Amino acid sequence: MYISDAFFDCDSEIDRAFADGLTAEDVYDRVIDYYNEKILELKEGKHYDAVVALEYNRDHLCAPSVNAKWGDKRARIV
């Protein structure tokens, strides 16, 4: 895996989850899990700078399930 793939894959997982018909809350949960998987892969590869950056991105995701100002956590794309 290229290090950049972890970042692109995590970002794309948001789109894939919405395309699968999940609610915003379920998308957030799925994406957090995906970030955690990729972070673990990077740790195993000893790419610690990338781990820190990906953890930062994960920890700063905005979603209605984190704060209602971002919308309705039950929202989905139809």
**pTM score > 0.75 for this model?**
yes
Nearest residue to 35 (alpha-carbon basis) of 2, 74, 66, 61: 61
Q: Hey, what are 32's tokens?
A: 């957090």
pLDDT per residue as tens digits for the range 15-68: 999 999 999 999 999 999 999 999 999 999 999 999 999 999 999 999 999 999
Q: What is the pLDDT at residue 52? A: 98
Predicted local confidence at residue 10, as pLDDT? 97
Rounded to an integer, what distance in angstroms lies between the CA atom of residue 65 and that of residue 13? 17
